[in-house]
Amino acid sequence: MNRIYTQADWIDRARAVLPAAGFGNFDASVVIARGDGSHVWDEDGNEYVDYLIGSGPMLLGHGHPEVMEAVLEQLPKGMTFFANNAKGIELAEAIVEAVPCCEQVRFVTSGGEADMYAIRLARAYTGKPKILKFEGGYHGMSAEAQMSLAPSKQVNFPTPVPDSAGIPQGVADEVLIAPFNDLEAVASLLGEHHDIAAIIVEPLQRIIPAQPGFLQGLRDLCDAHGVLLIFDEIVTGFRLAYGGAQERYGVTPDICTLGKIIGGGFPLAALGASAEIMAHFDKAVVGADKWLMQLGTLSGNPVASAAGLKTMEVLRRAGQYERLRNLGQTLMDFQSAALTEHGIAHRICGDPTLFDIYFTDCDPVDYRTAKHADPKINEVWNTTLRANGVFKSPGKLYPSLALTGDDLDLTKAAFQRAARAVSDDRSTAM
């Protein structure tokens, strides 16, 4: 008889072979067995409404029938080739048609890889070494991206703080850090440093919205100083709107990176720009000295491309983004009502397509203001939500188009219980 493994068994097995018993992404005390539509189940059979959705890619939900059909049609034809394939070319065409800054794209496997190449591409095009990024901005796991992502100590701008061991000082010397939503600080740095290749920014930094005029201000400053503007749209691409943050906010960068949704749940990402900038990937055009080498075993994978193409086709249908925003706004309203009823100070931060709560009475505008007055409140909130069937990150809630009325009812009840738990915990602590 085959043994049935419990979640605890799987955690024990993971502890033996995985550092910190996990993949490094999420709470290692949860082992997911399967997903279907808007729900996931752990290895003990506990069922949850899924607001993590793979950290964003599963905008249509798990196992969407049309995406599954597209994948199953491709599988017998081949899983990977390390060569051009029709599905990858079709996906590139669809991205170029959708995303304002993209005349051409290059595929990679992960968002972090796309951001790394975008930084390198900006340096190749401008011939300048420095990169300006914003404190708290997430751009993957490259050495440059790991500067002041989540610094535990505050230092004076523009000094970077490495978030990881193993990064040499030479990397820090080429990265400048500015506070998000502060055009004056950016203008000062651009005026002082004339060797900046690019500014890289999340148009929605984690869940902190850009203040009115900030993104256009970055565009204007970059134009004035001969600096490239990179939008990291790994999260916002095809989420905030079909054309991403560029469409939603009406600001076009020089380079953008895309991931998550364009792979339909499979490993795929891309970077795109004008043909002039992207020419640095073509040695025959720019010559060996200016050529940017880029290789990847799974880049443009046909199965991922097929899944991404079908996902994008579904998203183009009338009413999809209106429905997504309505779902997100409903969830925002549920949260606010539950917390307000119990007199709990909070700010719901983000966009209806991606948001969460800061337990504070201050408006978060940058990394240093985006924090909880008491982190324990957030822990109680999220722990109670999971105990009541809501699965989410401690700092983000991703709505999906798979959500049903029953899911919303369950989630509303979970928000009410979580607000009560926070209120009770505060009363006990007094």
pLDDT tens per residue, range 299-353:
999 999 999 999 999 999 999 999 999 999 999 999 999 999 999 999 999 999 9
Residue with tokens 């469409």: 247
Cα distance between residue 193 and residue 223, in whole Å: 15
Considering the domain architecture, whether residues 144 and 225 belong to the same structural domain is answered as yes
pLDDT digits 0-9 by tens, 210-234: 999 999 999 999 999 999 999 999 9
User: For residues 206-244, b (16+ Cβ closer than 10 Å) or e, as one string?
Assistant: bbbbbeeebbebbbebbeebebbbbbbbbbbbbbbbbbb
Report the run of H or E that residue 348 belongs to, with start and end.
Answer: strand 347-351
Residue 31 in this model has a pLDDT that exceeds 70: yes
Considering the domain architecture, whether residues 311 and 322 belong to the same structural domain is answered as no
Active site residues: 138, 232, 260
Please identify, among 315, 337, 359, the residue that sits at the C-terminal boundary of a domain: 315
Residue 132 in this model has a pLDDT that exceeds 70: yes
Considering the domain architecture, whether residues 311 and 328 belong to the same structural domain is answered as no
Contact between 218 and 186 (Cβ < 8 Å): yes
Q: 38 lies in which domain range?
A: 31-63+318-429
List C-alpha distances in Å: 352 to 9, 191, 397, 414.
38, 36, 10, 19
Please identify, among 315, 339, 354, the residue that sits at the C-terminal boundary of a domain: 315
Considering the domain architecture, whether residues 194 and 45 belong to the same structural domain is answered as no
Considering the domain architecture, whether residues 425 and 288 belong to the same structural domain is answered as no
pLDDT band at 427 (very low <50, low <70, confident <90, very high): confident
> What pLDDT is stored for residue 228 in this prediction?
98
Considering the domain architecture, whether residues 189 and 255 belong to the same structural domain is answered as yes
Contacts of 240 (CB under 8 A, 6+ apart): 203, 204, 247, 248, 351, 353, 354
Q: Count the neighbouring beta carbons within 10 Å of the beta carbon of residue 366.
A: 18
> What pLDDT is stored for residue 1 in this prediction?
64
pLDDT digits 0-9 by tens, 352-386: 999 999 999 999 999 999 999 999 999 999 999 99
Considering the domain architecture, whether residues 140 and 279 belong to the same structural domain is answered as yes
Total domains in the chain come to: 2
Q: Return the ∠ at Cα 188 (arms to 183 and 193), rounded to 5°.
A: 125
Q: Which of 290, 288, 266, 260 is nearest to 122 (CA)?
A: 290
Residue with tokens 């085959």: 2
Considering the domain architecture, whether residues 45 and 99 belong to the same structural domain is answered as no
Question: What average pLDDT does this structure show over 123-146?
Answer: 97
Considering the domain architecture, whether residues 193 and 304 belong to the same structural domain is answered as yes
Burial class from Cβ neighbours inside 10 Å (0-12, 13-18, 19+) for residue 294 reads middle
Considering the domain architecture, whether residues 327 and 208 belong to the same structural domain is answered as no
Kind of pairing between the strands at 175-178 and 130-134: parallel
Please identify, among 260, 288, 315, the residue that sits at the C-terminal boundary of a domain: 315
Q: Which CATH number fits the domain that encloses residue 398?
A: 3.90.1150.10
pTM of this prediction exceeds 0.85: yes
- Is 169 inside a domain boundary? yes
> What pLDDT is stored for residue 426 in this prediction?
79
Considering the domain architecture, whether residues 295 and 369 belong to the same structural domain is answered as no
List C-alpha distances in Å: 410 to 61, 240, 241, 326.
17, 25, 27, 17
> What pLDDT is stored for residue 364 in this prediction?
97
pLDDT band at 429 (very low <50, low <70, confident <90, very high): low
* Residues, the chain: 430
